Amino acid sequence: MKRVVIFASGSGSNAENLIKFFQNSDNASVIQVLTNNPHAKVLDRCKKLKISALSFNKIAFTQTNDVLNILKSSNPDLIVLAGFLWKFPENILQHFANKVINVHPALLPKFGGKGMYGMYVHEAVVANKETETGITIHYVNAHYDEGAIIFQAKCEVKASDDAQDVSKKIHKLEMKHFPEVVKKLLNS
């Protein structure tokens, strides 16, 4: 049985989607969710879904091996960042080389980098008058949104769309494609 650990910072809709997707799977399951936000709604979702969830602080994540040791004991086959906002530390990336992936709400390399997340991305897409946007699922490396691209899906941006409209389109793409890409990676 393949093991997935999810990192999330906010509401956790992508985390819940992944948990539910793998609930009845014969070959993979989400075993744990970790968050840097002790008030994140993802913790409530995990409680309802009976999934182990822990929150940690910046010191545990970046200055000690506390989070790395939690991951070592969980022994995941894949670490999935689903709306996780902190840069991933080298010690975890080195130990879990090519096992950490992220979903980004734009077509990288456009609209990536530090500070480009959530509505900031959608607002930039609209302000730049883009005619299309989408999602990028990529490996995580030491730099924001610069890891190798695994998968992209596109959607149209109409001239009348505002950032909220774009957000809804991106959310649909994430719900549809993210679990399938995770499944493919686990099976490869």
- The catalytic residue positions are 104
Enter the DSSP assignment of 24: T
How large is the greatest C-alpha to C-alpha distance in the chain, in angstroms? 49
Burial class (CB in 10 A: 0-12, 13-18, 19+), 131: exposed
Supply the Cα-derived Rg of the chain in whole angstroms.
16
CB atoms within 10 A of CB 5: 22
DSSP three-state, residue 166: helix
**Is the distance from CB of 181 to CB of 151 less than 8 angstroms?**
yes
**Alpha-carbon torsion angle 93, 99, 100, 106, nearest 10:** 130
